[in-house]
């Protein structure tokens, strides 16, 4: 994720879609080298209900397929 996305996505609720067909929905709060930090997150899996995840999640950028900015 290039630094120019910070103005659009940081502090906003996003859905980070992974290459594994799983996704996380939450607030993108930081970028640390090769990692994205997500807080107040939910795990989203095809055919399943969202699962609350406590704490912060660190996702390696190489595992990200695409990021959606939500309207929430």
Structure tokens at 4: 């120019």
**Is the pLDDT score of 5 beyond 80?**
no
Q: Hey, what domains does the chain have and what are their CATH numbers?
A: 3-69 (2.30.30.100)
> pLDDT tens digit string along 13-72?
999 999 999 999 999 998 888 999 999 999 999 999 999 999 999 999 999 999 998 876
Residue 60: what pLDDT?
Answer: 95
8 or 38: which leads in pLDDT: 38
Neighbouring residues of 64: CB distance < 8 A, sequence distance ≥ 6: 1, 16, 17, 18, 19, 36
The structure's pTM equals 0.85
**Is the pLDDT score of 10 beyond 90?**
no
């Amino acid at each position: 994720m290039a630094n120019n996305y910070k103005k659009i996505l940081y502090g906003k609720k996003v859905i980070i879609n992974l290459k594994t067909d799983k996704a996380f929905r939450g607030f993108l709060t930081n970028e640390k080298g090769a990692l994205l930090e997500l807080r107040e997150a939910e795990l989203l899996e095809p055919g399943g209900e969202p699962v609350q995840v406590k704490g912060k999640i660190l996702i390696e950028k190489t595992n990200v397929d695409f990021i959606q900015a939500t309207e929430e």
